[in-house]
Structure 1
Amino acid sequence: MTIRQIALKTQAALLAVATLAAPASAFAGPADTYYERAFVVAANTRCGLFQPDLARALAAATAQARGAALRAGVAAADLTDVAWRADARAGAVACADPQLAVVKDRVDGAFAGWTRLPRMTFPGDRYDWIANRAAYERPIWRLQQASMVGSSPVSFGYAGEGEDAALTAVVSWYGNPRPTSARLVFRDPAKAPRPWLAGDRLVPAAARASLWSSGVSAAAPTLLAKDKRAGDAWTFSPAAAEALEQLDPRETFALEFHFRDGSVATVPFEAGDFAAGRAFIAMGTV
Protein backbone atom coordinates (compact mmCIF):
# COMPACT_ATOMS: atom_id res chain seq x y z
CA MET A 1 0.00 0.00 0.00
CA THR A 2 1.37 3.41 -0.98
CA ILE A 3 1.39 6.48 1.27
CA ARG A 4 -1.27 8.04 -1.00
CA GLN A 5 -3.52 4.99 -0.62
CA ILE A 6 -3.05 5.10 3.13
CA ALA A 7 -3.99 8.80 3.14
CA LEU A 8 -7.20 8.11 1.19
CA LYS A 9 -8.19 5.30 3.57
CA THR A 10 -7.41 7.52 6.53
CA GLN A 11 -9.65 10.26 5.16
CA ALA A 12 -12.53 7.78 4.80
CA ALA A 13 -11.97 6.52 8.33
CA LEU A 14 -12.05 10.04 9.74
CA LEU A 15 -15.43 10.63 8.13
CA ALA A 16 -16.79 7.83 10.30
CA VAL A 17 -15.10 9.33 13.34
CA ALA A 18 -16.56 12.77 12.60
CA THR A 19 -20.09 11.35 12.61
CA LEU A 20 -19.64 9.79 16.04
CA ALA A 21 -17.63 12.66 17.55
CA ALA A 22 -19.59 15.54 15.98
CA PRO A 23 -21.53 16.67 19.10
CA ALA A 24 -18.32 17.87 20.74
CA SER A 25 -16.56 19.04 17.60
CA ALA A 26 -16.58 22.80 17.14
CA PHE A 27 -13.20 23.32 15.53
CA ALA A 28 -12.11 24.29 12.05
CA GLY A 29 -9.43 23.18 9.65
CA PRO A 30 -6.38 21.27 10.93
CA ALA A 31 -7.75 21.18 14.49
CA ASP A 32 -10.57 18.95 13.21
CA THR A 33 -8.16 16.21 12.19
CA TYR A 34 -6.35 16.43 15.52
CA TYR A 35 -9.67 16.28 17.39
CA GLU A 36 -10.80 13.20 15.45
CA ARG A 37 -7.54 11.31 15.96
CA ALA A 38 -7.36 12.31 19.62
CA PHE A 39 -10.93 11.02 20.01
CA VAL A 40 -9.97 7.62 18.58
CA VAL A 41 -6.86 7.43 20.79
CA ALA A 42 -8.99 8.22 23.86
CA ALA A 43 -11.65 5.70 22.84
CA ASN A 44 -8.99 3.06 22.38
CA THR A 45 -7.51 3.78 25.82
CA ARG A 46 -10.94 3.33 27.37
CA CYS A 47 -12.30 0.45 25.29
CA GLY A 48 -9.21 -1.42 24.03
CA LEU A 49 -10.25 -1.22 20.37
CA PHE A 50 -6.92 -1.88 18.68
CA GLN A 51 -3.85 -4.08 18.85
CA PRO A 52 -0.71 -2.40 20.31
CA ASP A 53 1.04 -1.90 16.95
CA LEU A 54 -1.99 -0.15 15.47
CA ALA A 55 -2.41 1.92 18.64
CA ARG A 56 1.18 3.12 18.21
CA ALA A 57 0.43 4.00 14.57
CA LEU A 58 -2.51 6.07 15.79
CA ALA A 59 -0.26 7.81 18.30
CA ALA A 60 2.15 8.76 15.50
CA ALA A 61 -0.67 10.03 13.29
CA THR A 62 -2.17 12.02 16.16
CA ALA A 63 1.17 13.67 16.95
CA GLN A 64 1.55 14.52 13.26
CA ALA A 65 -1.93 16.07 13.20
CA ARG A 66 -1.09 18.18 16.25
CA GLY A 67 2.06 19.44 14.53
CA ALA A 68 0.08 20.33 11.40
CA ALA A 69 -2.41 22.30 13.48
CA LEU A 70 0.36 24.23 15.24
CA ARG A 71 1.97 25.07 11.88
CA ALA A 72 -1.40 26.33 10.68
CA GLY A 73 -1.46 28.81 13.54
CA VAL A 74 -3.65 27.05 16.10
CA ALA A 75 -2.46 27.99 19.59
CA ALA A 76 -1.04 25.23 21.78
CA ALA A 77 -3.51 26.13 24.52
CA ASP A 78 -6.39 25.68 22.07
CA LEU A 79 -5.09 22.24 21.10
CA THR A 80 -4.94 21.30 24.78
CA ASP A 81 -8.62 22.22 24.90
CA VAL A 82 -9.25 20.17 21.74
CA ALA A 83 -7.61 17.13 23.33
CA TRP A 84 -9.66 17.61 26.51
CA ARG A 85 -12.91 17.80 24.53
CA ALA A 86 -11.98 14.73 22.49
CA ASP A 87 -11.27 12.81 25.68
CA ALA A 88 -14.55 13.96 27.21
CA ARG A 89 -16.52 12.94 24.11
CA ALA A 90 -14.83 9.52 24.05
CA GLY A 91 -15.80 9.08 27.69
CA ALA A 92 -19.43 9.72 26.82
CA VAL A 93 -19.61 7.06 24.08
CA ALA A 94 -20.43 3.52 25.16
CA CYS A 95 -17.82 0.93 24.20
CA ALA A 96 -20.66 -1.17 22.75
CA ASP A 97 -21.99 1.68 20.59
CA PRO A 98 -22.55 0.31 17.03
CA GLN A 99 -21.12 3.48 15.51
CA LEU A 100 -17.91 2.96 17.49
CA ALA A 101 -17.67 -0.50 15.92
CA VAL A 102 -17.89 1.14 12.48
CA VAL A 103 -15.14 3.57 13.48
CA LYS A 104 -13.00 0.66 14.70
CA ASP A 105 -13.36 -1.25 11.42
CA ARG A 106 -12.53 1.77 9.27
CA VAL A 107 -9.60 2.86 11.40
CA ASP A 108 -8.31 -0.74 11.37
CA GLY A 109 -8.29 -0.67 7.59
CA ALA A 110 -6.80 2.81 7.31
CA PHE A 111 -4.02 2.65 9.87
CA ALA A 112 -2.96 -0.94 9.28
CA GLY A 113 -1.01 0.47 6.35
CA TRP A 114 1.02 2.62 8.76
CA THR A 115 2.16 -0.48 10.62
CA ARG A 116 3.71 -1.88 7.43
CA LEU A 117 5.51 1.27 6.28
CA PRO A 118 9.30 0.83 6.70
CA ARG A 119 10.16 4.49 6.13
CA MET A 120 8.49 7.85 6.42
CA THR A 121 9.49 11.50 6.01
CA PHE A 122 8.02 14.09 8.36
CA PRO A 123 8.50 17.41 6.54
CA GLY A 124 9.41 20.57 8.43
CA ASP A 125 9.60 24.23 7.49
CA ARG A 126 13.40 24.13 7.20
CA TYR A 127 14.54 20.61 8.10
CA ASP A 128 12.89 17.18 7.81
CA TRP A 129 12.83 14.19 10.13
CA ILE A 130 13.54 10.92 8.29
CA ALA A 131 12.23 7.79 10.05
CA ASN A 132 13.41 4.26 9.21
CA ARG A 133 11.87 1.07 10.64
CA ALA A 134 13.58 -1.35 8.24
CA ALA A 135 15.31 -4.26 9.98
CA TYR A 136 19.13 -4.13 9.92
CA GLU A 137 21.76 -5.91 11.99
CA ARG A 138 24.14 -2.95 11.85
CA PRO A 139 23.76 0.47 13.50
CA ILE A 140 21.57 2.83 11.46
CA TRP A 141 19.59 6.01 11.91
CA ARG A 142 16.07 5.23 13.06
CA LEU A 143 15.07 8.91 13.20
CA GLN A 144 17.38 11.54 11.74
CA GLN A 145 17.57 15.25 11.02
CA ALA A 146 20.62 16.59 9.21
CA SER A 147 22.25 19.98 9.72
CA MET A 148 25.65 21.66 9.34
CA VAL A 149 28.10 23.70 11.36
CA GLY A 150 30.51 25.41 8.98
CA SER A 151 31.67 22.63 6.65
CA SER A 152 31.00 19.86 9.16
CA PRO A 153 27.87 17.69 8.76
CA VAL A 154 25.89 16.97 11.93
CA SER A 155 22.97 14.56 12.33
CA PHE A 156 20.72 14.22 15.34
CA GLY A 157 18.03 11.71 16.28
CA TYR A 158 17.71 8.07 17.24
CA ALA A 159 20.48 5.72 16.15
CA GLY A 160 21.41 2.18 17.02
CA GLU A 161 21.41 -1.49 16.14
CA GLY A 162 18.17 -3.44 15.71
CA GLU A 163 15.48 -1.84 17.87
CA ASP A 164 18.03 -0.64 20.44
CA ALA A 165 18.26 3.04 19.48
CA ALA A 166 19.49 5.95 21.61
CA LEU A 167 19.20 9.70 21.22
CA THR A 168 22.44 10.57 19.43
CA ALA A 169 24.29 13.34 17.62
CA VAL A 170 26.95 12.41 15.06
CA VAL A 171 29.43 14.98 13.75
CA SER A 172 32.32 14.66 11.33
CA TRP A 173 34.57 17.63 11.93
CA TYR A 174 36.27 19.48 9.12
CA GLY A 175 39.87 19.67 10.30
CA ASN A 176 40.89 18.42 13.73
CA PRO A 177 38.86 20.17 16.44
CA ARG A 178 38.25 18.25 19.65
CA PRO A 179 35.27 19.53 21.66
CA THR A 180 35.28 18.65 25.35
CA SER A 181 31.50 18.53 25.76
CA ALA A 182 28.18 18.87 23.97
CA ARG A 183 24.73 19.92 25.07
CA LEU A 184 21.23 20.42 23.73
CA VAL A 185 19.78 23.92 24.11
CA PHE A 186 16.08 24.70 23.77
CA ARG A 187 13.26 26.91 25.09
CA ASP A 188 12.30 26.30 28.70
CA PRO A 189 8.47 26.34 28.86
CA ALA A 190 8.65 27.28 32.55
CA LYS A 191 10.56 30.46 31.69
CA ALA A 192 8.90 31.25 28.34
CA PRO A 193 5.46 29.64 27.88
CA ARG A 194 4.99 30.93 24.33
CA PRO A 195 6.79 29.37 21.33
CA TRP A 196 9.84 31.23 20.02
CA LEU A 197 9.35 31.45 16.25
CA ALA A 198 12.42 33.14 14.79
CA GLY A 199 13.78 30.82 12.12
CA ASP A 200 17.19 29.42 13.05
CA ARG A 201 17.65 31.96 15.87
CA LEU A 202 17.55 30.46 19.34
CA VAL A 203 15.33 31.73 22.12
CA PRO A 204 17.17 34.36 24.27
CA ALA A 205 19.56 32.94 26.86
CA ALA A 206 17.35 33.92 29.81
CA ALA A 207 14.59 31.63 28.51
CA ARG A 208 16.73 28.59 27.69
CA ALA A 209 17.12 25.14 29.20
CA SER A 210 19.92 22.71 28.38
CA LEU A 211 20.91 19.07 28.80
CA TRP A 212 24.50 17.85 28.55
CA SER A 213 25.56 14.78 26.63
CA SER A 214 25.99 11.62 28.69
CA GLY A 215 29.00 10.41 26.69
CA VAL A 216 30.92 10.29 23.42
CA SER A 217 32.45 7.53 21.32
CA ALA A 218 33.60 6.87 17.78
CA ALA A 219 30.61 6.83 15.44
CA ALA A 220 29.77 3.64 13.54
CA PRO A 221 30.61 4.04 9.82
CA THR A 222 26.94 3.44 8.91
CA LEU A 223 25.93 6.59 10.83
CA LEU A 224 28.32 8.93 9.04
CA ALA A 225 27.37 11.47 6.39
CA LYS A 226 28.15 10.58 2.79
CA ASP A 227 31.88 10.47 1.96
CA LYS A 228 32.90 10.81 5.63
CA ARG A 229 35.26 8.21 7.10
CA ALA A 230 35.17 9.12 10.79
CA GLY A 231 33.04 11.00 13.30
CA ASP A 232 32.03 11.35 16.93
CA ALA A 233 28.76 10.05 18.39
CA TRP A 234 27.44 12.02 21.38
CA THR A 235 24.60 10.36 23.31
CA PHE A 236 21.84 12.01 25.35
CA SER A 237 19.47 10.83 28.07
CA PRO A 238 15.79 9.99 27.40
CA ALA A 239 14.89 13.18 29.28
CA ALA A 240 16.10 15.15 26.27
CA ALA A 241 13.48 13.53 24.04
CA GLU A 242 10.73 14.39 26.50
CA ALA A 243 11.88 18.02 26.51
CA LEU A 244 11.99 18.28 22.72
CA GLU A 245 8.45 16.91 22.43
CA GLN A 246 7.22 19.92 24.41
CA LEU A 247 8.39 22.37 21.74
CA ASP A 248 6.29 23.89 18.98
CA PRO A 249 7.19 22.12 15.69
CA ARG A 250 8.29 25.43 14.18
CA GLU A 251 10.81 26.11 16.94
CA THR A 252 14.57 25.82 16.73
CA PHE A 253 16.67 23.91 19.21
CA ALA A 254 20.43 23.56 18.96
CA LEU A 255 23.45 21.43 19.67
CA GLU A 256 26.36 23.26 21.24
CA PHE A 257 29.89 21.86 21.05
CA HIS A 258 32.23 23.36 23.64
CA PHE A 259 36.00 23.55 23.06
CA ARG A 260 38.97 23.91 25.40
CA ASP A 261 39.66 27.46 24.22
CA GLY A 262 36.18 28.55 25.34
CA SER A 263 34.69 28.69 21.85
CA VAL A 264 31.30 27.15 21.07
CA ALA A 265 30.02 25.74 17.78
CA THR A 266 26.22 25.99 17.57
CA VAL A 267 24.21 23.72 15.23
CA PRO A 268 20.54 24.56 14.57
CA PHE A 269 17.78 21.97 14.31
CA GLU A 270 14.01 22.24 13.95
CA ALA A 271 11.68 20.56 16.46
CA GLY A 272 9.27 19.62 13.65
CA ASP A 273 7.35 16.38 13.99
CA PHE A 274 9.87 14.84 16.38
CA ALA A 275 7.05 13.40 18.51
CA ALA A 276 5.37 11.82 15.47
CA GLY A 277 8.65 10.36 14.23
CA ARG A 278 9.41 8.98 17.65
CA ALA A 279 5.97 7.32 17.83
CA PHE A 280 6.45 5.93 14.32
CA ILE A 281 9.74 4.16 15.11
CA ALA A 282 8.23 2.90 18.38
CA MET A 283 6.13 0.55 16.23
CA GLY A 284 9.27 -1.57 15.84
CA THR A 285 11.13 -2.89 12.83
CA VAL A 286 9.56 -4.40 9.71
Structure 2
Amino acid sequence: MTIGQNATAAKAVLLAAAVLATPAQALGGPSDTYYERAFVVAADARCDLFAPQVEAALTAATAQARGAALRSGAAEVDLNAAAARARARAAAVSCRDPQLATVRARVDGAFSGWARTPRMTFAGERQHWFADRTRWTQPGWRLKQSSTVGASPVAFGYGGKADASTPMAVVSFVGRSRPTAARLVFRDETRAPRAWLSGGGLAPTSSRASVWATGVSAADPALLAEGRRAGDAWRFPASAADRLARLDPRETFLVEFHFRDGSVATARFEAGDFAAGRAFMAMGAPGTSAP
Protein backbone atom coordinates (compact mmCIF):
# COMPACT_ATOMS: atom_id res chain seq x y z
CA MET A 1 0.00 0.00 0.00
CA THR A 2 1.37 3.46 -0.85
CA ILE A 3 1.72 6.37 1.56
CA GLY A 4 -1.18 8.07 -0.19
CA GLN A 5 -3.37 5.01 0.20
CA ASN A 6 -2.45 4.76 3.88
CA ALA A 7 -3.37 8.39 4.42
CA THR A 8 -6.68 8.00 2.61
CA ALA A 9 -7.57 4.87 4.58
CA ALA A 10 -6.66 6.50 7.89
CA LYS A 11 -8.79 9.53 6.99
CA ALA A 12 -11.72 7.21 6.29
CA VAL A 13 -11.28 5.53 9.68
CA LEU A 14 -11.26 8.82 11.54
CA LEU A 15 -14.20 10.23 9.60
CA ALA A 16 -16.20 7.07 10.28
CA ALA A 17 -15.44 7.31 13.97
CA ALA A 18 -16.54 10.95 14.02
CA VAL A 19 -19.77 10.28 12.12
CA LEU A 20 -20.68 7.37 14.36
CA ALA A 21 -20.19 9.44 17.50
CA THR A 22 -22.00 12.57 16.25
CA PRO A 23 -25.60 13.24 15.15
CA ALA A 24 -25.90 12.73 11.42
CA GLN A 25 -27.15 16.22 10.69
CA ALA A 26 -24.01 17.71 12.22
CA LEU A 27 -21.64 16.14 9.73
CA GLY A 28 -23.58 15.44 6.58
CA GLY A 29 -26.69 14.00 5.07
CA PRO A 30 -28.20 10.53 5.26
CA SER A 31 -26.07 9.24 2.35
CA ASP A 32 -22.88 10.21 4.20
CA THR A 33 -24.11 8.49 7.35
CA TYR A 34 -24.89 5.33 5.40
CA TYR A 35 -21.46 5.31 3.75
CA GLU A 36 -19.60 5.68 7.04
CA ARG A 37 -21.67 3.03 8.82
CA ALA A 38 -21.18 0.66 5.88
CA PHE A 39 -17.44 1.31 6.15
CA VAL A 40 -17.38 0.36 9.83
CA VAL A 41 -19.52 -2.75 9.22
CA ALA A 42 -17.02 -3.85 6.57
CA ALA A 43 -14.05 -3.11 8.84
CA ASP A 44 -15.65 -5.13 11.62
CA ALA A 45 -16.24 -8.05 9.26
CA ARG A 46 -12.52 -8.09 8.47
CA CYS A 47 -11.08 -7.32 11.88
CA ASP A 48 -13.70 -8.53 14.40
CA LEU A 49 -13.82 -5.21 16.20
CA PHE A 50 -17.01 -5.44 18.22
CA ALA A 51 -18.99 -7.64 20.57
CA PRO A 52 -22.05 -9.37 19.08
CA GLN A 53 -24.62 -6.93 20.49
CA VAL A 54 -22.74 -3.90 19.22
CA GLU A 55 -22.41 -5.62 15.82
CA ALA A 56 -26.16 -6.21 15.79
CA ALA A 57 -26.85 -2.60 16.79
CA LEU A 58 -24.52 -1.33 14.07
CA THR A 59 -26.22 -3.55 11.50
CA ALA A 60 -29.62 -2.16 12.49
CA ALA A 61 -28.35 1.41 12.40
CA THR A 62 -26.77 0.88 8.99
CA ALA A 63 -30.03 -0.45 7.58
CA GLN A 64 -31.85 2.50 9.12
CA ALA A 65 -29.36 4.92 7.55
CA ARG A 66 -29.89 3.31 4.15
CA GLY A 67 -33.63 3.76 4.49
CA ALA A 68 -33.21 7.39 5.51
CA ALA A 69 -30.96 8.01 2.51
CA LEU A 70 -33.48 6.49 0.11
CA ARG A 71 -36.34 8.50 1.58
CA SER A 72 -34.26 11.66 1.26
CA GLY A 73 -34.01 11.08 -2.49
CA ALA A 74 -30.77 9.14 -2.88
CA ALA A 75 -30.80 6.67 -5.77
CA GLU A 76 -30.46 2.99 -4.92
CA VAL A 77 -27.70 2.56 -7.50
CA ASP A 78 -25.72 5.37 -5.82
CA LEU A 79 -26.09 3.77 -2.38
CA ASN A 80 -24.97 0.41 -3.75
CA ALA A 81 -21.92 2.16 -5.20
CA ALA A 82 -21.28 3.88 -1.86
CA ALA A 83 -21.41 0.53 -0.07
CA ALA A 84 -18.93 -0.90 -2.58
CA ARG A 85 -16.58 2.06 -1.96
CA ALA A 86 -16.93 1.57 1.77
CA ARG A 87 -15.96 -2.11 1.49
CA ALA A 88 -13.00 -1.24 -0.72
CA ARG A 89 -11.84 1.44 1.70
CA ALA A 90 -12.18 -0.95 4.64
CA ALA A 91 -10.14 -3.56 2.77
CA ALA A 92 -7.33 -1.01 2.48
CA VAL A 93 -7.06 -0.50 6.24
CA SER A 94 -4.80 -2.78 8.27
CA CYS A 95 -6.52 -4.45 11.19
CA ARG A 96 -3.48 -3.32 13.22
CA ASP A 97 -3.96 0.32 12.28
CA PRO A 98 -4.07 2.28 15.57
CA GLN A 99 -6.90 4.40 14.19
CA LEU A 100 -9.17 1.35 14.38
CA ALA A 101 -8.86 1.54 18.14
CA THR A 102 -10.42 5.00 17.89
CA VAL A 103 -13.23 3.58 15.80
CA ARG A 104 -13.81 0.76 18.26
CA ALA A 105 -14.00 3.09 21.26
CA ARG A 106 -16.34 5.57 19.57
CA VAL A 107 -18.61 2.91 18.10
CA ASP A 108 -18.82 1.12 21.46
CA GLY A 109 -19.85 4.42 23.01
CA ALA A 110 -22.26 5.38 20.25
CA PHE A 111 -24.03 2.02 20.00
CA SER A 112 -23.87 0.56 23.47
CA GLY A 113 -27.05 2.57 24.07
CA TRP A 114 -28.76 0.66 21.26
CA ALA A 115 -27.88 -2.58 23.05
CA ARG A 116 -29.69 -1.33 26.16
CA THR A 117 -32.70 0.13 24.33
CA PRO A 118 -35.76 -2.11 24.81
CA ARG A 119 -38.07 -0.51 22.24
CA MET A 120 -37.74 1.52 19.06
CA THR A 121 -40.06 3.06 16.52
CA PHE A 122 -38.85 2.95 12.93
CA ALA A 123 -40.78 5.75 11.29
CA GLY A 124 -42.23 5.51 7.80
CA GLU A 125 -44.09 7.90 5.54
CA ARG A 126 -47.49 7.08 7.03
CA GLN A 127 -47.06 3.76 8.83
CA HIS A 128 -44.37 2.78 11.32
CA TRP A 129 -42.63 -0.37 12.49
CA PHE A 130 -42.67 -0.84 16.26
CA ALA A 131 -39.95 -3.07 17.72
CA ASP A 132 -40.01 -4.44 21.26
CA ARG A 133 -37.21 -6.49 22.82
CA THR A 134 -38.86 -6.87 26.26
CA ARG A 135 -41.07 -9.60 27.74
CA TRP A 136 -39.39 -12.36 25.76
CA THR A 137 -40.70 -14.96 28.20
CA GLN A 138 -44.29 -14.17 27.15
CA PRO A 139 -46.15 -14.05 23.83
CA GLY A 140 -46.22 -10.64 22.18
CA TRP A 141 -45.16 -8.64 19.15
CA ARG A 142 -41.40 -8.33 18.57
CA LEU A 143 -41.81 -6.24 15.40
CA LYS A 144 -45.14 -4.95 14.12
CA GLN A 145 -46.80 -2.62 11.66
CA SER A 146 -50.54 -2.04 11.90
CA SER A 147 -53.05 -1.59 9.08
CA THR A 148 -56.73 -2.20 8.41
CA VAL A 149 -58.96 -3.82 5.85
CA GLY A 150 -62.32 -2.13 6.06
CA ALA A 151 -63.16 -1.96 9.75
CA SER A 152 -60.96 -4.95 10.59
CA PRO A 153 -57.52 -4.44 12.19
CA VAL A 154 -54.53 -6.25 10.66
CA ALA A 155 -50.98 -6.43 12.02
CA PHE A 156 -47.93 -7.85 10.27
CA GLY A 157 -44.51 -8.68 11.65
CA TYR A 158 -42.91 -11.07 14.11
CA GLY A 159 -44.98 -12.19 17.05
CA GLY A 160 -45.59 -15.03 19.43
CA LYS A 161 -42.89 -16.53 21.60
CA ALA A 162 -39.32 -15.40 22.05
CA ASP A 163 -37.94 -17.67 19.34
CA ALA A 164 -40.39 -16.42 16.68
CA SER A 165 -38.50 -16.70 13.41
CA THR A 166 -41.23 -16.49 10.79
CA PRO A 167 -43.45 -13.49 9.97
CA MET A 168 -47.18 -13.52 10.52
CA ALA A 169 -50.30 -11.49 9.84
CA VAL A 170 -52.94 -11.28 12.56
CA VAL A 171 -56.44 -10.20 11.58
CA SER A 172 -59.75 -9.88 13.41
CA PHE A 173 -62.46 -9.72 10.77
CA VAL A 174 -65.63 -7.82 11.56
CA GLY A 175 -68.97 -9.07 10.30
CA ARG A 176 -67.87 -11.67 7.77
CA SER A 177 -66.72 -15.27 7.48
CA ARG A 178 -63.11 -16.25 8.07
CA PRO A 179 -60.75 -16.39 5.05
CA THR A 180 -59.57 -19.71 3.65
CA ALA A 181 -56.12 -18.50 2.55
CA ALA A 182 -53.75 -15.53 2.81
CA ARG A 183 -50.78 -14.33 0.81
CA LEU A 184 -48.15 -11.61 0.70
CA VAL A 185 -47.88 -9.56 -2.52
CA PHE A 186 -44.86 -7.38 -3.31
CA ARG A 187 -42.51 -6.35 -6.13
CA ASP A 188 -40.77 -9.27 -7.81
CA GLU A 189 -37.11 -8.25 -7.92
CA THR A 190 -36.44 -10.67 -10.79
CA ARG A 191 -39.07 -8.98 -13.01
CA ALA A 192 -38.57 -5.42 -11.75
CA PRO A 193 -35.07 -5.08 -10.25
CA ARG A 194 -35.49 -1.38 -9.48
CA ALA A 195 -37.70 0.08 -6.77
CA TRP A 196 -41.25 0.87 -7.91
CA LEU A 197 -42.21 4.26 -6.48
CA SER A 198 -45.20 5.30 -8.64
CA GLY A 199 -48.75 4.19 -8.03
CA GLY A 200 -48.40 4.39 -4.27
CA GLY A 201 -45.24 2.31 -4.26
CA LEU A 202 -46.92 -0.90 -5.43
CA ALA A 203 -45.59 -2.56 -8.57
CA PRO A 204 -48.06 -3.34 -11.37
CA THR A 205 -49.59 -6.80 -11.45
CA SER A 206 -47.15 -8.04 -14.10
CA SER A 207 -44.20 -7.23 -11.82
CA ARG A 208 -45.51 -8.67 -8.56
CA ALA A 209 -44.53 -11.76 -6.63
CA SER A 210 -46.71 -13.52 -4.09
CA VAL A 211 -46.08 -15.93 -1.23
CA TRP A 212 -48.91 -17.95 0.31
CA ALA A 213 -49.25 -18.47 4.03
CA THR A 214 -48.05 -21.84 5.27
CA GLY A 215 -50.57 -22.16 8.09
CA VAL A 216 -53.11 -20.47 10.34
CA SER A 217 -54.10 -20.74 13.99
CA ALA A 218 -56.05 -18.82 16.57
CA ALA A 219 -54.07 -15.73 17.49
CA ASP A 220 -52.72 -15.41 21.01
CA PRO A 221 -54.68 -12.69 22.86
CA ALA A 222 -51.42 -10.73 23.29
CA LEU A 223 -51.26 -10.27 19.50
CA LEU A 224 -54.79 -8.91 19.04
CA ALA A 225 -55.64 -5.26 18.45
CA GLU A 226 -57.05 -3.39 21.40
CA GLY A 227 -60.67 -4.31 22.04
CA ARG A 228 -60.57 -7.52 19.97
CA ARG A 229 -61.31 -10.84 21.59
CA ALA A 230 -60.39 -13.20 18.76
CA GLY A 231 -58.44 -13.33 15.54
CA ASP A 232 -56.40 -15.51 13.20
CA ALA A 233 -52.62 -15.65 12.91
CA TRP A 234 -51.45 -16.47 9.38
CA ARG A 235 -47.83 -17.64 9.20
CA PHE A 236 -45.50 -17.06 6.24
CA PRO A 237 -42.13 -18.60 5.38
CA ALA A 238 -38.97 -16.89 6.62
CA SER A 239 -37.79 -16.46 3.03
CA ALA A 240 -40.70 -14.09 2.36
CA ALA A 241 -39.43 -11.74 5.07
CA ASP A 242 -35.97 -11.77 3.46
CA ARG A 243 -37.55 -10.54 0.23
CA LEU A 244 -39.54 -7.84 2.00
CA ALA A 245 -36.35 -6.63 3.68
CA ARG A 246 -34.84 -6.00 0.24
CA LEU A 247 -37.64 -3.65 -0.84
CA ASP A 248 -37.08 0.09 -1.01
CA PRO A 249 -38.48 1.66 2.19
CA ARG A 250 -40.84 3.77 0.05
CA GLU A 251 -42.45 0.71 -1.50
CA THR A 252 -45.70 -0.95 -0.50
CA PHE A 253 -46.63 -4.59 0.01
CA LEU A 254 -50.00 -6.23 0.55
CA VAL A 255 -51.50 -8.92 2.70
CA GLU A 256 -54.45 -10.48 0.86
CA PHE A 257 -57.10 -12.61 2.56
CA HIS A 258 -59.01 -14.93 0.23
CA PHE A 259 -62.53 -16.14 0.96
CA ARG A 260 -64.50 -19.15 -0.14
CA ASP A 261 -66.81 -17.03 -2.31
CA GLY A 262 -63.84 -15.77 -4.36
CA SER A 263 -63.65 -12.35 -2.74
CA VAL A 264 -60.35 -10.86 -1.53
CA ALA A 265 -59.78 -8.43 1.34
CA THR A 266 -56.52 -6.49 1.12
CA ALA A 267 -54.45 -4.72 3.78
CA ARG A 268 -51.67 -2.37 2.66
CA PHE A 269 -48.32 -2.01 4.45
CA GLU A 270 -45.19 0.10 3.98
CA ALA A 271 -41.84 -1.64 3.55
CA GLY A 272 -40.26 1.20 5.53
CA ASP A 273 -37.38 0.23 7.82
CA PHE A 274 -38.43 -3.41 8.06
CA ALA A 275 -34.81 -4.50 7.57
CA ALA A 276 -33.60 -2.23 10.38
CA GLY A 277 -36.40 -3.43 12.65
CA ARG A 278 -35.45 -7.06 12.01
CA ALA A 279 -31.82 -6.32 12.85
CA PHE A 280 -32.86 -4.55 16.05
CA MET A 281 -35.11 -7.46 17.02
CA ALA A 282 -32.27 -9.91 16.35
CA MET A 283 -30.27 -8.30 19.15
CA GLY A 284 -32.35 -10.28 21.62
CA ALA A 285 -33.64 -9.05 24.94
CA PRO A 286 -31.66 -6.23 26.62
CA GLY A 287 -28.92 -7.61 28.82
CA THR A 288 -28.45 -10.79 26.78
CA SER A 289 -25.99 -11.64 24.06
CA ALA A 290 -27.09 -11.39 20.46
CA PRO A 291 -27.67 -14.72 18.71
Return closer, same or farther for 1:160/1:202 CA change in 2, 3 Å cut-off.
Answer: same
Task: Please list the CA deviations of residues 126-182 of structure 1 after superposition, one character each: whole Å capped at 9, or x if unmatched.
Answer: 100000000342210000000000000000000021233431100000013221100
Partner of 1:70: 70
Partner of 1:140: 140
Question: How far does residue 29 in structure 1 lie from its aligned partner after superposition?
Answer: 2.4
Work out whether residues 159 and 167 of structure 2, in 8 Å CA contact, stay in contact via their aligned partners in 1. yes
What's the % identity of the aligned pairs?
64
Paired residue secondary structure (1:166): coil
Gaps spanning 5+ residues in structure 1: where?
1-12, 21-27
Work out the number of aligned pairs and report it: 268
Work out whether residues 182 and 234 of structure 1, in 8 Å CA contact, stay in contact via their aligned partners in 2. yes
Partner of 1:284: 284
Q: TM-score, normalised by structure 1?
A: 0.90
Partner of 2:59: 59
Gaps spanning 5+ residues in structure 2: where?
1-12, 21-27, 287-291
Work out whether residues 163 and 285 of structure 1, in 8 Å CA contact, stay in contact via their aligned partners in 2. no
Distance in 2 separating the partners of 1:165 and 1:229: 25
- 1:10-159 matches, within 5 Å, as 15=15, 17=17, 29-159=29-159
Distance in 2 separating the partners of 1:229 and 1:173: 11
Distance in 2 separating the partners of 1:226 and 1:29: 39
Paired residue secondary structure (2:166): strand
Distance in 1 separating the partners of 2:19 and 2:223: 46
Distance in 2 separating the partners of 1:35 and 1:125: 23
Question: How far does residue 201 in structure 1 lie from its aligned partner after superposition?
Answer: 6.0
Task: Please list the CA deviations of residues 201-247 of structure 1 after superposition, one character each: whole Å capped at 9, or x if unmatched.
Answer: 63211000010000000000000000000000000001111110111
Partner of 1:258: 258
Partner of 2:8: none
1:215 aligns with 2:237: no
1:176 aligns with 2:181: no
Between 62-71 and 129-138, the greater mean CA deviation after superposition: 129-138
Question: How far does residue 193 in structure 1 lie from its aligned partner after superposition?
Answer: 2.1
* Structure 1 residue ranges, 4+ long, deviating more than 4 angstroms after superposition: 13-16
